Homo-oligomer: A and B are copies of this chain.
Amino acid sequence: VFRIGEFSQIARVSGRLLRYYDSIGLLRPQHIDQQTGYRYYSAGQLQQLNRILALKDLGLTLDQIARMLDDKIDVAEIRGMLALKKAELEQSLSEEAARLRHIESRLTQIEERGNLGDYDVVMKSAPALPFLGIRAVYPTFGDAVATVRAVATAARTQLSAGAIANLTVVAHCDYVDEDLDLEIGVTLSRAVNRKVRVAASDSPGGELTLSELPAIERLATLVRSGPPEEGHLAFGKLGIWMEANGYRIDGRCREMFLDLPFQIPGQDTMTLEIQFPVAKAA
C-alpha cells in the first residue's frame, strides 16, 4: 500500500492528477485516513490507473472513461464508444491534413511574394435569402457595370433602407469578356411587395422580380476592394487557393457588394465579397 507520493512516482503521474481523479470519482484511493486525510493506494490500483491512462491516450474524455469503467456497461456500448471515437479521429485526421496543406501553401506564397498576400480566402456557408433582381445578357463588361449602378440607384431610391441587405451579382456564365449572363439585384432582410423599376439608357432596364437566392453549404469566399476592373486579380487568387487546397468549383459564382457602390459620383472603388460554391476535388 502506497502513499500518494510513492504511487505517483511509480505511475509517473502527478499527485494533483491522482487527487483530481479522486475528486471526480474516477479513481478513489483504496483507503483514506480519516484523521489526516492521507490517501493510500494499493498495488492493484495501478492497473486501474493504467487502464484510465490507456483510454485517455485514445483521446477519450474522462467522462467517457468513467462510463466505460462502470460495471453496469455492456460490451456493445464500449464498442460503440470506441467506434464513434474512431470516426472522430478519422475526421480530425483529414482536417489536420487539410490544415497542413493550407499552411504549406501559405509558406510557398511567402517564398514567392515575400508576404502573407493581400486577400484571405475563408470557407463559409450561406443561408437562403429573398432576392429582388433582374437577369439579362450583357454584351460587354461595361454594360453590366452600368446596370449594377442602375440597380443600386433604384434600390436606394425606391426601397426603404432597412429592407435592403446587399447588392448582389450572380453569374450564370463562366468568367468571360463579352455576352455576360448575369443576375443583378439586392438581397432583402425581409420580403417586400413593392415593385421596383430600373431605368437605364444604355443597358437592359425593366422590373426587378422577387426570387430566392439558394442556401449554399460550402463557399470559398474572398473580400476585395478596388475598382470593378480589378476583379480578375481576386478571381485568380481564388483559383490558386482552390487548387492548392484541393477544392473545385461547384456552382455559380456570386459577388456581394458590402458597400452600396457608386454613392459618391466619380468614385467607383467598392468592397465586395466573391463567393464560389466549392466541393472537394477528386
The yes or no answer to A97 lying at the interface (CB within 8 A) is yes
CA distance A122 to B79 in the complex (A): 20
CB within 8 Å of B: which A208-224 residues: 221-224
Residues of chain B with a CB closer than 8 A to A223's CB: 43, 46-47, 50
Contact A104 B86 (CB under 8 A): yes
CA distance A116 to B58 in the complex (A): 13
Contact B78 A100 (CB under 8 A): no
The yes or no answer to A271 lying at the interface (CB within 8 A) is yes
Contact B116 A78 (CB under 8 A): yes
Contact B43 A259 (CB under 8 A): yes
The yes or no answer to A194 lying at the interface (CB within 8 A) is no
CB within 8 Å of B: which A117-152 residues: 119-126
Question: Per-position contact with B for A75-111: 1 when CB-CB < 8 Å, else 0?
Answer: 1001100110110011011001101101110110010
With A44-B271, A225-B43, A259-B43 given, is the CB distance from A85 to B103 under 8 Å? Answer: yes
CA distance A104 to B59 in the complex (A): 13
The yes or no answer to A31 lying at the interface (CB within 8 A) is no
Return the contact of A97 from the options B58, B82, B93, B258 (Cβ within 8 A): B93
CA distance A224 to B190 in the complex (A): 69
Return the contact of A78 from the options B43, B78, B110, B122 (Cβ within 8 A): B110
With A46-B223, A258-B46, A273-B46 given, is the CB distance from A110 to B57 under 8 Å? Answer: no
Return the contact of A103 from the options B12, B75, B82, B97 (Cβ within 8 A): B82
CB within 8 Å of B: which A179-231 residues: 221-225
Contact B89 A225 (CB under 8 A): no
The yes or no answer to A68 lying at the interface (CB within 8 A) is yes
CA distance A47 to B274 in the complex (A): 12
A-B contact pairs, 13 of them (CB 8 A): A47-B120, A47-B223, A50-B222, A51-B120, A54-B120, A57-B102, A57-B122, A58-B102, A68-B116, A75-B115, A86-B100, A86-B103, A93-B96
With contacts A46-B273, A78-B110, A83-B107 known, what are 10 further pairs, Cβ within 8 A? A47-B119, A47-B224, A54-B120, A57-B102, A57-B122, A79-B107, A86-B104, A89-B99, A93-B93, A93-B97
Q: 10 closest pairs, A vs B, by CB?
A: A43-B258, A43-B271, A54-B120, A50-B120, A51-B120, A12-B124, A50-B122, A47-B223, A89-B100, A46-B223
